[in-house]
Amino acid sequence: MDIALNLPEIIQRIGWFLPLWEPTEEQGDSFVLYPQDLVACARVCHTWRRTLLPLLGRVYDGEEMERWNTAWPNYLFPYCRLARLNTTTLLDHPHLTQLTELEVCTTASHAQAIQILHSNVHLQRLSWSIPDTRDMNTVSHTDVITALESLSSLRSLTLDSFHWCFDRFAHVINRNAELTSLTMSHCRGLEDIEKNLFMNNVKELYLDCAWRVNAGLLDLIWESANLELLMVRLDQDCPLVELCEILQERCPKVTALKCTRLGREEEEEAQSGSIVRDQIAMLVESVKCLNSLELNVYELSDDICSGFLDIRANDLERVEIVVHRDSKESLASASRILTSCPGLRSFSITRQCSDPFWYDSTWSYGVVSALFEKVWVCAGLESLIIGDIEDPSRLPEYTEASALAVTIGDYGWRVKQGRPLGQHGYCLTLALAKKAIEQAVHMPRLKAFKVNRFTFVRQGVSHLIRAPPSQSQIM
């Protein structure tokens, strides 16, 4: 495919604002169109315009507008359904009145976003992040919350860094009876509930907030009787006993748990592996129908694994692990998951480093090899992602990528090369992929998997891993 600047204007615009075009990983300025059926529209002018014009103005992305210096013609406003306000260069008078989704994530966007909210009371999805209050200038939290109170059709609400008066929060929630997903990150001021909240339709609740400044978090969970997915911080301030009691008594439909802040660096001294294990065990045991578990941990120790494998190894269908420490124990523990969960359908393990230096955000080949030391028992595995692997030293036994590619081909797989990591980086990825393919011999449902930025697919299969299957797909 030609580079972006040579594409016809109408396709180029769609490319930046809709997930129709995806940059190929081997060349940052080359693109692939999904779905391919739209290519036919480029050959017939009438079909082109009739099919693509509504899509052209469907998304307004402030950051991309500024990046590519792209004008926004007025005739596109009636088609716009999604607006992302995340730049300092915004329209003076955006006539956006048919939005179904709005994302706001910088200070400069708040005043304009408030106007947009008043013009789109039918909004269905809203994501709003407020930075430090000192940067708000003329727009305060009160102004934003007042605008939120005008909405009544929300199905998904994501709020980051809000400081709430709880009565006003309750008013926002109760006006949106169709709300099914609520995300609260880094918020404070949620006190104990003194009135009922109408949250019977909420199925997904993401609470990435500090417990010590949000006494009302437990009440939110209590009011969500039909909850199916819960994310919580499992830190040292978490009222774990009360949380488990609520899950047992009020939330029998929960099937998915996401836990963050497990044994982070600042808590490592205060929380030993056995303490974290006991916390995990209590929480997992309180969810009778658990089949999906996501953990964000400093280190995935054997103790932590014991906390959920001893109870739910035969029930888990999806496990996603994010670790922060480069240790062989984390990968050995991950291997234990793959060798202990016969019903596993999706598995992902990646590393997220808090260190700002990029070179400390990867695992070495020797560390990751621990993942493949034992035979995996999950014959029904459908999705596998292993990320952030790099080794500063060359592997003498894998010096030629072409030889490895041939070996992988002999197993009936082929590689979709991602953005180049250099000859050694490519060899390293192929070496690990070969180990994964050897494990996948008895996994007929695994049509593709991802190692680093490379995707490997079975011969004759056109498949690109985008993300592990969602909870709804598993159910």
Q: Give the domain ranges of the chain.
A: 1-56, 323-475
Task: Between 329 and 460, name the one with better pLDDT.
Answer: 329
Alpha carbon distance 85, 83 (integer Å): 6
Mean local confidence (pLDDT), 150-170: 87
Task: Between 165 and 253, name the one with better pLDDT.
Answer: 253
User: Per residue, what are the HEC states of the chain?
Assistant: CCCHHHCCHHHHHHHHHCCCEEECCCCCCCEEECCHHHHHHHHCHHHHHHHHHHHHCCEEEHHHHHHHCCCCCHHHHHHCCEEEECCCCCCCCCCCCCCCEEEECCHHHHHHHHHHHHHCCCCCEEEEECCCHHHCCCCCHHHHHHHHCCCCCCCEEEEECCECCHHHHHHHHHHCCCCCEEEEECCECCCCCCCCCCCCCCCEEEEECCHHHCCCHHHHHHHCCCCCEEEEECCCCCCHHHHHHHHHHHCCCCCEEEEEEECCHHHCCCCCHHHHHHHHHHHHHHCCCCCEEEEEECCCCHHHHHHHHHHHCCCCCEEEEEECCCCHHHHHHHHHHHCCCCCCCEEEEEECCCCCCHHHCCECHHHHHHHHCCCCCCCCCCEEEECCECCCCCCCCCCCHHHHHHHHHHCCEEEECCCCCHHHHHHHHHHHHHHHHHHHHHCCCCCEEEECCEEEEECCCCCCCCCCCCHHHHC
Task: Between 252 and 405, name the one with better pLDDT.
Answer: 252
The gap from C-alpha 42 to its chain's centroid, in whole angstroms, comes to 33
Mean local confidence (pLDDT), 363-375: 81
pLDDT at 375 over 90: yes
The confidence score (pLDDT) of residue 314 equals 94
pLDDT in tens, 122-133: 999 999 987 655
On average, the pLDDT of the chain sits at: 76
List the single range of 30-44, 82-96, 104-118, 164-178 with lowest mean pLDDT. Answer: 30-44
pLDDT at 69 over 50: yes
The confidence score (pLDDT) of residue 194 equals 64
Alpha carbon distance 168, 148 (integer Å): 9
Percentage of the chain lying above the pLDDT 90 cut: 34
Alpha carbon distance 453, 103 (integer Å): 28
Q: Say what the pTM is.
A: 0.81
The confidence score (pLDDT) of residue 202 equals 97
Q: Give the pLDDT band (50/70/90) at residue 137.
A: very low
Q: Give the pLDDT band (50/70/90) at residue 356.
A: very low
Percentage of the chain lying above the pLDDT 70 cut: 65
Task: Between 411 and 13, name the one with better pLDDT.
Answer: 411
| Most trustworthy range by pLDDT among 67-81, 145-159, 344-358, 363-377 | 145-159
CB-based contacts of 427, cutoff 8 Å, min separation 6: 395, 398, 399, 400, 401, 404
Q: Which amino acid is at 226?
A: N
129 contacts 160 by C-beta, under 8 angstroms = yes
CB atoms within 10 A of CB 95: 12
The confidence score (pLDDT) of residue 170 equals 86
The confidence score (pLDDT) of residue 183 equals 96
pLDDT at 299 over 70: yes
Mean local confidence (pLDDT), 435-445: 92
| Most trustworthy range by pLDDT among 286-295, 386-395, 405-414 | 286-295
Q: Give the pLDDT band (50/70/90) at residue 447.
A: very high
Alpha carbon distance 210, 237 (integer Å): 8
